[in-house]
Structure formats: structure tokens, C-alpha cells
Structure 1
């Protein structure tokens, strides 16, 4: 387990619990719901295409991910590489999303990213910011069939 020297003493135990919960929840987020008691009621979520505030909207994001995952993919994975404290009251999760689209040409989706979770002094997540390794347009272009080489 990582050292939590940057966390306020009151937040340290809660931060450890948040990290354990993220390790348990994130790898299966396309299959089942996550635990919401580690988030504040006014949680802010932001990624390269969306920004939402409030736990109800946060729940909708994860429901939508599962729904679209089942609808558009034959397989979809959230590979969690690391979850660790990176600054006072801040946790980082590094991950990869990969899957196979439910299309005749079976396009593969793949992108890396990381999530920054900011914690209140009590140890609840009040902000979740996702960063991707490529633009949303580049990710969407993965849905298109691969161009065949000349003469094929």
C-alpha cells in the first residue's frame, strides 16, 4: 500500500478506503455499477467531451457507459494499471479502455487515460477529471473500417 504522507491525518484512512474501492470498482465498470458512497453529493465530473455536476448525473454517466458498452461492443474492458496518491488529497488512476465494436469489420477501440480524483478533508471524492491520450475525434475514427491497401 502506498504511503499517504501528503494526506491530512483525518483524510488518510478515508483515502486508503477510496483507493481500495477504486481498485475494486473500476476494472468492472462496464459490467456492473460502482460504489457511490465515496463521492460527495455535488461531485464534478469532467472528461474531454462531458462535464457534469451532482451524484445523480455521475450515476447516469456510469449507467450510460454500461448501456452503450453492451449495445455497441462485443467485448469491452477497462484495464486499471495503477491507483495511487499523487498530491495532497489527490489520487490518480491510470487505465486503458479497449474493446471490439459490434460491426461487420470488428473494429477495435483502444485508448489510454488517467483519472484525477480530488478529496475533501473528510476523504470523499468531490472532483473526477479524466484525461485521454488522444482527442475524441481520433478515438471515434477507430470506429471506421480500416482502409485496405492498394491492390488488395
Structure 2
């Protein structure tokens, strides 16, 4: 469903190419199992916001594998752009907070912070 030269961008990553796209998602799954005792990706809605754009809204939440059981929580949305053949050539993720704010959650004890 992706073009060979798919472009991906989120607040910390930017690259082009289907192989790199596969690697980033493999890396995310690997690190989720390594660093979290509990991790969830909640998909809230998927809709066609324009003829050539699909938008998905989501939340990431979890508990870090640290003695103080820090919680992480952030929301975002993904925008997928389709070419004339219906293949995804661009995937842009937007988060509801800056990466530094998300990282600060790693050092807090207890419940997820909003």
C-alpha cells in the first residue's frame, strides 16, 4: 500500500524510502517491548479528510519499565497522502506535545500526566 519512496516525518524522525519505513516501525515495536511493561496504541478514528488524504487520530499510553513505574501519554494524528494509484506516498505524524515534554513523563512517578 506504500510507494517505494514513501516520505515519513514525525517530531523526531524524517526519512524517505520503504525500507526505512519498515525499519522505523520494527524499531518502535522492539523498543516498546524493551522499555515498557505495558504499552498501548489506541486508534480513535480513521477518515478520509480529502480525496487524496486519510487521517487517523490516536493515543499512545504506557508504563515504563522503571522502579517508579512512570506513565507516558500523548495524543496525535497521522496524515497519509495518496497518489493517483491509491498508494501512500507520505505519512506525517503530529503530536499534541513536544518530544521534550513527553520525555519528562519518564521521570514522574505514578499516573500519566495530561
TM-score using structure 2 length: 0.94
Deviations 1:72-116 (A, max 9, x none): 000111000000000120000000000000000001110000000
Q: Corresponding residue for 1:85?
A: 48
Q: Secondary structure at the match of 2:103?
A: helix
Higher strand fraction (1 or 2):
2
Preserved contact between residue 35 and residue 64 of structure 2 (Cα < 8 Å): yes
User: Which has the larger Rg?
Assistant: 1
Q: Corresponding residue for 1:140?
A: 103
Shift of 1:136: 0.2
Q: Corresponding residue for 1:113?
A: 76
Q: Corresponding residue for 1:54?
A: 17
Unaligned stretches of 5+ in structure 2?
110-114
After superposition, where does 1:1-152 map in structure 2 within 5 Å?
Answer: 38-146=1-109
Preserved contact between residue 72 and residue 106 of structure 2 (Cα < 8 Å): yes
TM-score using structure 1 length: 0.71
Instruction: Count residues with an aligned counterpart.
Output: 110
Q: Distance between the aligned counterparts of 2:48 and 2:84, measured in 1? A: 14
Runs of 4+ in 1 over 2 A off after TM superposition: none
Q: Distance between the aligned counterparts of 1:120 and 1:94, measured in 2? A: 21
Unaligned stretches of 5+ in structure 1?
1-37, 147-152
